Structure 1
């Protein structure tokens, strides 16, 4: 085998390896997109059932912290949808400009999810603090 033949074989092997890697990456990106949509389904179910609890329970409905938890869940749901949409658009887009726009949509979705999580965590903390305050309240003596 000559040096030129060896060089050509090496180039072909590298090109095939690159092509194989690109295909593996595309498959993994598709799987990520599917996983994000599955998360969206779970998130919308959480927000939906929290909304139903709010409708059924007057105690929950009248609690500002519980309302904030519900708001946070719906904001997260919107963010999860945008992340799913943006992720999918990144995979199907061939144009660099459209891919960048899809990345921006995905990023906005991530920020909305973060905001929703912060709202829920803050409200949850307030509920815990109120519960602890009630536990520490002096017990009244009734003779």
Structure 2
């Protein structure tokens, strides 16, 4: 029975080591995914800005401007999330890890504000379109 217990210990240590390696690899992949999201987000904000420059009608619409503002705020938040996530990967010091988590969390909050602005403006656009439909249907 003693031999079995001693054999189980190295296997358990290997299992723990394997899990730690897997976790480290998955955390790196999460960081890469966050940066890929940032690239997509910056492209969205960039192209929305170009649309705004090209179309005077869109540029004059307060809701469309709010959507653009929301996209840029999300972009800033996504960038901070990327920085924070990456910093967490490359530090073992507890105070630096906590600071990186704060940066990541701030990024999450900024993204939430941006999404809220976009969703609110989108809702307003839908309400305005529905009002136009009702007015067009009601012709005395």
Q: How far is 1:83 from its partner? A: 0.5
TM-score, scaled to structure 2: 0.95
Alignment deviations for residues 92-137 of structure 1 (CA, whole Å, 9 cap, x no partner)? 1110110111011000000100000000000000001000001111
Q: Which residue of 2 aligns with 1:71?
A: 69
CA distance in 1, matches of 2:99, 2:11: 35
Higher Cα Rg, which structure: 1
* Stretches of structure 2 lacking an aligned partner (at least 5 in a row): none
Q: Which residue of 2 aligns with 1:40?
A: 38
TM-score, scaled to structure 1: 0.93
* Stretches of structure 1 lacking an aligned partner (at least 5 in a row): none
1:102-141 map, 5 Å: 102-138=100-136
Please list every run of at least 4 consecutive aligned residues from structure 1 whose deviation after the TM superposition is greater than 3 angstroms: 138-141
Q: How far is 1:11 from its partner? A: 1.3
CA distance in 2, matches of 1:10, 1:95: 32
Aligned alpha-carbon RMSD (Å): 1.2
